[in-house]
Amino acid sequence: MPGILIGWRRHRFAAAIALLLLAVARLAAGQALPVGEHVVHREVSPWQTLVVVDSPTRRCLRFGDGAGQFNQSCRLRARPAHLAFDYTRAMVATLLLWDPPPSRVLLIGVGGGSIASALATVRPEMTLDAVDIDEAVLRIAETFFGLRPGPNLRLHAADGRDFVAAARAREEWFDAVLLDAFDADGIPPALFTEAFLREIRALLSPAGVFLANTFSGSPSAAQELAAATSAFGRVYSVRQGKGAGNRLIVAASSPERLLSVAALRAALPAQRASLARVGIEESWVRRLAFADFEP
């Protein structure tokens, strides 16, 4: 009996050590997740590690493993049609308030497809080309986040720069270009050079609008604003609240076409129902902070 007991204790001790080593290995690899979250999909694409994580309230896409990674896109379980992030609400609201209403839109950077889905919900007649360099991102947006391509919502696995260059060569135009391209480290620098922004400006129709999601606290924030100002002549920025990290940069095909804040807010009553369909309240839009040439 003593021998059996000692053997059992050794087995239990060895099992405990194995579990401890596994936990340490997971932490070292960045695999630990907050309580209540679990991974439903993980894959390594040629561009990045893509992780889909579920919690009791939402499903999110992250670029990279572990709890320290930012949520790139989320879908609310209780209200899947509603936008989960303030920056996506600000971007969609600004586009819906624009006059004249854009009929053809280019979105560079798809993530979980929340912006594309919201626009398809409230403007089904709008033609939307959604471009992402990572084909796996598009597949995940369809499989795990409900993005539904169709005749008016076309998905393209392509480098945004190449897509813009090809569109220009075909002499195409867009009423709006939305730039929401992030990887695990932020906005790829090649997508926010003055030269590339000038290429985007050349794609815009005479009353076209350019919207870019940027991060105000990043080391490149000032350079991004300077590049946009040089490329478009005049811009303003939109903050979603005090201390909010995301900053929306707004520009137009020409400086005189840049709508005033008063004009955007004047369109709110007419767009109230459309905004509400994707979880945007009129009172929330009125609280957005607009600023010219914000540093």
Residues with catalytic roles = 180
Cα dihedral 149, 154, 157, 161 sign: negative
Strands 127-132 and 153-157: parallel
18 burial (CB, 10 Å; 0-12 / 13-18 / 19+) is exposed
CA dist list (Å): 197 to 16, 68, 263: 56, 31, 25
Tell me the CA distances in angstroms from 157 to 87, 90, 144, 154, 295, one per residue in order.
Answer: 24, 26, 17, 10, 34
Helices (H) and strands (E) in the chain, counts: 10, 12
Is residue 33 a contact partner of residue 51, using CB atoms and an 8 Å limit? Answer: no
Short-list 180, 41, 200, CA closest to 111: 180
158, with CB counted inside 10 A (0-12, 13-18, 19+), is middle
What is residue 268's three-state secondary structure?
helix
The answer to whether 279 and 86 have CB atoms below 8 angstroms apart is no
Question: What are the tokens at 238?
Answer: 């939109």
Q: Which helix (H) or strand (E) holds 140?
A: helix 135-145
Q: Give the sign of the dihedral formed by CA 118, CA 196, CA 244, CA 73.
A: positive
